[in-house]
Amino acid sequence: MSLVALSVVTPMFNEREAVDHFVARLRPVLDGLAVPYEVVAVDDGSSDATVARLLQLRADWPQLRVVALRRNVGHQTALRAGLRAARGEHVVSIDADLQDPPEVIGEMLAKARAEQVDVVYGVRSDRSTDTVFKRRTAGVYYWMMKRLVGPWVSDQAGDFRLMSRAVVDVLNDLPEPRPVYRLVVPSLGFSSAEVGYVREDRVAGKTKYPLSKMIKLTFDSITGFSAAPLKIATWVGLLSFVLCLVLIITALGAWSVGTTVPGWTSLYIAVLLLGGIQLICVGMLGEYIGRIYAATQGRPAFLVSFDTDQQEPAGFAVADPLPDDPADRLQREHETIS
Ligand code: UDP
Ligand code: MG
């Protein structure tokens, strides 16, 4: 595998509206670094014209490499496909919607080289452009992860980070089917530094992280790192056992002096409460067993449909231009000047 100095990995799911803006802003940054680079755009089974447009843009930017997955597998798994494909001595992962500013990449690379660290985290110094809902749910998520996973989890570091080849090789060798990189990377303990950045607005299109995907990420994060939920059943069980002993003694005492406890309400509550707790505990067990089951099946987490590094795909229609495609505008300006 011939290495380049830098790979920029970007998972994209239905990003037709954002892709031109992304390319128009990323390219001058990378060209300005004056190091050999590649951009690994991982198409996560988009149903819009993302792939067709990427292939079109690639004609003018050979460093843009398109890795298309066969179907949508989710952000983290698409990232995994990108990390597998990347050939860089340093690898940066970045979102396609320009919420992570590409200009910071240069700063990350300089810091990694100057301070000789393996990981440089992009740390959000301001996320006021995110919705209140997003900030609140992210707040709860990171609060929980800090307690369950460890204090090294940064509540402001997402998936915008630079990693050395050593880190990427370790990640690629992980047998875990669905690693949550923002937790796995800090847990490895490589030397690291941080670069602050302001999180911007999504440049175009809508978020591809609906509530259902956020919940899935949360479950993957918890089960991937902690068996604590399984222990909850033990502790609640012990507590209710002690409580039961007290109640039995009280009831027997009342019975021995001839007063029976008027008990419908308490009986009802106890049955419902314990039934509910038991179901929750069985459900938690199910979350772990489901993952063990999936792991033993050993099916691939993703399948690559094509990688332009290996073969140029045929049969892709040309993507219709959008009214505000900046890459087209740049190209036109370039043509009129030359
Ligand atoms: N993404 C992906 N697959 C998915 C969902 C999202 O590859 O199933 C990509 C998406 O195209 C973007 C990145 O993951 O580049 C982050 O998604 P998004 O910006 O929608 O998330 P948010 O910033 O709203 O949390
Ligand atoms: Mg985003």
How many domains is the chain built from?
2
Residues 311 and 268 in one domain: no
Residues 68 and 117 in one domain: yes
Residues 192 and 73 in one domain: yes
220, part of any domain: no
Asked if residue 12 has its Cβ within 6 Å of ligand 1, the reply is yes
Residues 140 and 91 in one domain: yes
Asked if residue 74 has its Cβ within 6 Å of ligand 1, the reply is yes
Q: Work out the average pLDDT over 261-284.
A: 77
Residues 115 and 235 in one domain: no
Range of the domain at 250: 228-297
150, part of any domain: yes
243, part of any domain: yes
Residues 41 and 88 in one domain: yes
Bigger pLDDT: 3 or 130?
A: 3
258, part of any domain: yes
217, part of any domain: no
Q: Ligand 1 center to residue 79 CA distance, Å? A: 10
Residues 62 and 183 in one domain: yes
Ligand 1 atom index nearest CA of 15:
11
Residues 235 and 124 in one domain: no
Residues 279 and 310 in one domain: no
Ligand 1 atom index nearest CA of 96:
15
Question: Nearest residue CA, atom 14 of ligand 1?
Answer: 75
Q: What is the mean pLDDT of the chain?
A: 86
Residues 49 and 143 in one domain: yes
Strand pairing report for 88-93 and 64-69 = unpaired
Asked if residue 75 has its Cβ within 6 Å of ligand 1, the reply is yes
pLDDT digits (tens, 9 = 90+) for 176-233: 878 899 889 988 989 999 999 988 888 888 888 888 888 888 888 888 888 888 887 7
Question: Nearest residue CA, atom 16 of ligand 1?
Answer: 95
Residue 86 burial class via C-beta count within 10 angstroms: exposed 0-12, middle 13-18, buried 19 and up = buried
Asked if residue 13 has its Cβ within 6 Å of ligand 1, the reply is yes
SS3 139: helix
SS3 123: strand
pLDDT digits (tens, 9 = 90+) for 143-183: 888 888 788 887 777 899 999 999 999 999 998 878 899 88
Q: What CATH number is given to the structural domain containing 164?
A: 3.90.550.10
Question: Nearest residue CA, atom 11 of ligand 1?
Answer: 12
How far apart are the C-alpha atoms of 252 and 279, rounded to whole Å? Answer: 30
Strand pairing report for 4-12 and 192-198 = unpaired
Judge if pTM exceeds 0.85. no
The per-residue pLDDT for 65 is 96
Pocket residue to mutate for ligand 1, from 10, 13, 54, 200, most atoms within 8 A of Cβ: 13
223, part of any domain: no
Residues 248 and 160 in one domain: no
Using the predicted structure, report yes or no on whether residue 106 has a pLDDT greater than 60: yes
21, part of any domain: yes
338, part of any domain: no
Residues 293 and 304 in one domain: no
Residues in the chain: 338
